[in-house]
Amino acid sequence: MIKKIAFTAALVFGSATAMASDADIIKPNLVNGQQLSQRCLACHNESRLEEFNYFPYLEGQKYKYIVRQLNNFKLGLRKSPFMEGEVAYLSRQDMVDVAYFFSVQPKKQ
């Protein structure tokens, strides 16, 4: 049982570590990020943010932070049934691209 837990922890930690470094090794594609961002903006837009306090602004967030959070949702390390479904279709390249797009936008207050 302990071996199984240790193996699972190593697998999850190893995957999270490998994917977290995607921000360092995958070259972002701004055009693809802009296209993918439209889906994100269905919820993460100004009118929705005023209506509901739990959708954070993505514009101006740190690039590596966004990549890490998308990876955490994809791996199930951060729980949100909605976000887990949203990131399920994203490739590693897509996550880097959309994170980069939002990180270079002017920060919202």
pLDDT per residue as tens digits for the range 11-29: 455 555 555 478 888 999 9
pTM here is 0.76
Which residues make Cβ contacts (< 8 Å) with residue 21, sequence separation at least 6? none
For domain 2-103, give the fold.
Cytochrome Bc1 Complex; Chain D, domain 2 (1.10.760)
Give me 46's structure tokens. Answer: 């100004």
HEC string of 21-74 equals CHHHHCCCCHHHHHHHHHHHCCCCCHHHHHHCCCCCCCCCCCHHHHHHHHHHHH
Rounded to whole angstroms, the Cα distance separating 78 from 104 reads: 24
Residue range 65-109, pLDDT digits in tens:
999 999 999 999 999 998 999 999 999 999 999 999 999 999 876
